[in-house]
């Protein structure tokens, strides 16, 4: 029985050590942002499929996207791949994805999911609400 437990433990250790996940997460920092949608930094959000970035909030800034269903999403610009590097993702020319310039990982702006390796985790998402044409972001 002792040999079975030892063999099983080694097997589990081998499986978990082969994971491509680096085990780190984007740190949790307080985020409390609000601005009118008429703010020049956010004017592109007035169109479906529009995106914008804001510096000075979160770990590496905020990235916004106006989904086709009319909802807004907001993510931290800090890449989920090696987040300790605090590499800020940038919006691609298509406007539908963003790229981590440090690793080449790509993320969907509709839901923050990785669409190109090496990233395996989604971007850190924040809560968004819009009231009286003012967008609020918090965590």
Domain count, the chain: 1
Question: Taking 50 as the threshold, does the pLDDT of residue 44 lie above it?
Answer: yes
Q: Is residue 23 one of the residues assigned to a domain?
A: no
Please give the residue that has the higher pLDDT: either 48 or 10.
Answer: 48
CA separation, residue 12 to residues 1, 24, 94, 120 (Å) = 17, 20, 42, 21
Q: What are the backbone angles phi and psi of residue 51, rounded to the nearest 5°?
A: -140, 160
Confidence class for position 11, pLDDT limits 50, 70, 90: very low
57 in a domain, yes or no? yes
In terms of pLDDT, which residue wins out, 6 or 121? 121
Say if CB 86 and CB 71 are below 8 A apart. Answer: no
Residue at 61 is within a domain:
yes
Number of Cβ within a 10 Å radius of residue 36: 10
Domain assignment present for residue 16? The answer is: no
Give residue 126's domain range: 29-138
Residues paired with 128 in a beta bridge:
137
pTM for this predicted structure = 0.82
On whether residue 17 sits in a domain, the answer given is no
Choice between 109 and 12, residue whose per-residue pLDDT is larger: 109
Contact 55, 41 (CB under 8 A): no
Q: Has residue 14 been placed in a domain?
A: no
The CATH number covering residue 108 comes to 2.102.10.10
For the beta carbon of residue 108, count every other beta carbon within 10 angstroms: 16
């Amino acid at each position: 029985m002792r040999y079975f437990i030892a063999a099983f433990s080694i097997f589990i250790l081998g499986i978990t050590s082969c994971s491509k996940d680096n085990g780190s997460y984007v740190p949790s920092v307080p985020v409390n942002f609000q601005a009118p949608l008429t703010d020049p930094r956010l004017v592109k959000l007035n169109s479906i499929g529009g995106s914008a970035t804001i510096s000075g909030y979160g770990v590496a800034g905020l990235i916004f996207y106006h989904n086709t269903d009319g909802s807004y999403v907001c993510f931290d610009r800090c890449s989920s791949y090696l987040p300790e590097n605090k590499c800020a993702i940038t919006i691609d020319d298509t406007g539908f994805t963003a790229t981590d310039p440090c690793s080449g990982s790509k993320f969907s702006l509709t839901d923050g999911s990785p669409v190109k390796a090496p990233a395996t985790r989604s971007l850190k998402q924040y809560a968004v609400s819009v009231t009286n044409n003012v967008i609020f972001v918090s965590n």
